[in-house]
Amino acid sequence: MTTATSTSALDKQLARFKEIQVGGTQYLDRLSDGDRKAIPLLVQVGKLIDQIYIRQLWSGNERLHAHIHSKSPRDAKLDLGLQLFKGPWGLDEEKFIESVKEAEIHIPHDPPQHGNYYPDDISKQEYSDWVASLTGQAKKEAESYYHVVKRDPATGGLKTVPYSEEYKDFLEPAAALLKQAAELVSDESLEKFLRSRAEAFLTNEYVDSDVDWLRISKESALDVTCGPYENYTDKMLSIRAAYEFYLHARDFASSAILAKFSDRLQDMEDQLPVDELYKAKGLHPPAIITVNQLYSGGDVAVPMTAAYNLPNDEAPIKIAGSKLVIIKNVQEGKFEKVLRPIAQQVLDPEQVKKVQFEAFFQHVLMHEVAHSLGPHFLVRHKETKVRSALEEYHSAMEEAKADIVGLYAVGLLLKDGTLSGGPDAESFYMTYLASAFRSIRFGITEAHGLGQAMQFEYLKEQGGFAYDAETEKFSVVMDKIEDAVRSLTTRILVLQGDGDKQKVKEFVDQYGIISPEVKQALATLEDMGVPVDVYPKYRILEDGTV
């Protein structure tokens, strides 16, 4: 055994994740026979998409995978590491496989900025000089989401190659499988998408099929997301799109709750605790669907995606908007493996009992709906967007807004009976407190973490949360929390609507902090080895049966 693997680095990476079971038979009730027959074909598509993404990540990646998979006996940990991260780098881009001398695979210390979308010897300067020299179609392709850039062996200069050519060996069989699956599925709008996406794989024209994806009916029990979307792996320019694949079963129960929220959108806006000036009229509910994941592939490495908003391409968005997909069973896995252990560590033991997945999930749904609520333009300069007025503070304020307005709105809907039969107010507040720690744990340099830190400190100052120095536990103060939430809702909406950046800065500086007690609690979570996230074990077998 000459392959040098840095076992300690890999062990450290794997220890931060807990396995969850994903996609059992309980999610298939509403599927037709045809839908079920399509599943094995779609799983095969997912595997091909995985192969494409492995190629996209780094120029040596396919050889590395082939080498590791040729080992006998197989190294289960190494297999798992590669399966989770898709390449030799884990969380925080830490390398967990050393270069393989006998196979002449040199693994760079960090994942390459240019992925495998550009020649390895390219510089950003060479790329921009080249683009500047181009016009018309050539320039368009040089800046396209769906072309790679290669070095022309004849001239030594740069040229583009369409994805349909570059990944032909995987896209052609994937297209054939999508067409076969289209023959089987029940819902016509899904059928249409599968056919047009198969076409796109061959023609490299993605707009029509993106629009078809946006128009998949909410009644379709099966849901597929499949194509080139996110551009995070092109760290050099954030242009080239990585392939990803999701197979989902629609979650009709939570769709019904979501529909309740959406139906009450204007009503909730009207009841916000701010002056009429800050309230919008004629609101449209956002396009959101809720699903349970059955299988995924491609650009879907850990930490696991629990929601995504697509497409990113402006062209289809202009025609049909965008769609948010929330993955309930992944949210539930994260809740059980990460949030519950956090609650047990940081919350008063009496209150831990009230921490519930349904409360967590309904607040997630409400958070997404609440992004539509409150001012999006300044109340005194109607043409100026809140986003452009608040600049670098906007994202954290907007996330805090969605959280707190969401919680406030849940309070309204509990009182008027809309949410009766589910979790009670105590459950919502206590679950919310536990989940604050989960977000703050990711750090306050990121919008969700900073937004959550601000809310936490403000609500604590208002007496809605308490800290017991003796037991080192946090708790919700039930007779104060409601007023505290109302006060913070007013404060954030007014800061957004007024758009005075200096005032917002003062607010963020005052509350966007990690206090010594919180710091201590976060350190305890690390010491106790509470995982950071989860990874999937798919219940779907190799042949696609469940």
Contacts of 252 (CB under 8 A, 6+ apart): 30, 221
Smaller CB separation from Zn ion, 272 or 402: 402
Do 390 and 294 meet the contact criterion of CB atoms below 8 Å apart? Answer: no
Which two tokens mark 249? Answer: 């079963």
First to last CA, the chain: 37
Nearer to Zn ion, 402 or 436 (CB): 402
Helix (H, G, I), strand (E, B) or coil at 239: coil
Residue 255 Cβ, how far from Zn ion at the closest point, in Å? 19
Contacts of 404 (CB under 8 A, 6+ apart): 455, 485, 488, 489, 492
Residue placing its CB nearer to Zn ion in the complex, 448 or 473: 448
| Nearest-angstrom CA–CA distance, 32 and 196 | 22
Closest approach of Zn ion to the CB of residue 371, in Å: 6
Alpha helices in 16-109 (DSSP H): 33-57, 61-69, 76-85
Which structure tokens are listed for 488?
Answer: 């913070």
Nearest 10 degrees: CA dihedral of 24, 26, 30, 33? 50
Shortest approach of Zn ion to residue 215 CB, angstroms? 24
Q: Closest residue (Cβ) to Zn ion?
A: 402
- What DSSP state is assigned to residue 56? H
- Shortest distance (Å) from residue 496 CB to Zn ion: 14
Angle at 38 between CA 304 and CA 220, to 5 degrees: 70
Least Å distance, CB 199 to Zn ion, is 34
Nearer to Zn ion, 397 or 402 (CB): 402
Which residue has 């050393």 as its token pair? 98
Give residue 110's identity as a one-letter amino acid code. Answer: D
Q: Which is nearer to Zn ion, 43 or 265 (CB)?
A: 265
Q: Could you tell me the smallest distance in angstroms from the CB atom of residue 375 to Zn ion?
A: 16
Contacts (Cβ under 8 Å, ≥6 apart) of 479: none
Q: Which two tokens stand for residue 210?
A: 């993106």
Chain contacts with Zn ion (rule: CB under 5 A): 402
How far is residue 49's CA from residue 54's CA, in Å, rounded to a whole number? 9
Nearer to Zn ion, 402 or 459 (CB): 402
Closer to Zn ion at the Cβ: 402 or 410?
A: 402
Q: Which is nearer to Zn ion, 130 or 308 (CB)?
A: 308
Q: What are phi and psi of 171, to 5 degrees?
A: -70, -35
From the CB of 129, what's the least distance to Zn ion, in Å?
A: 39
Partners of 248 in the beta sheet?
Answer: 223, 293
CA 456/CA 396 separation, integer angstroms: 13
What is the nearest approach in angstroms of Zn ion to the Cβ of residue 400? 10
DSSP result, 434-453 = HHHHHHHHT-TTSHHHHHHH
Q: Which is nearer to Zn ion, 61 or 254 (CB)?
A: 254
Q: In the complex with Zn ion, which residue's Cβ is closer, 300 or 402?
A: 402
Q: C-beta of 367: minimal distance to Zn ion in Å? A: 6
Looking at residue 336, what DSSP letter applies? Answer: I
From the CB of 209, what's the least distance to Zn ion, in Å? Answer: 27
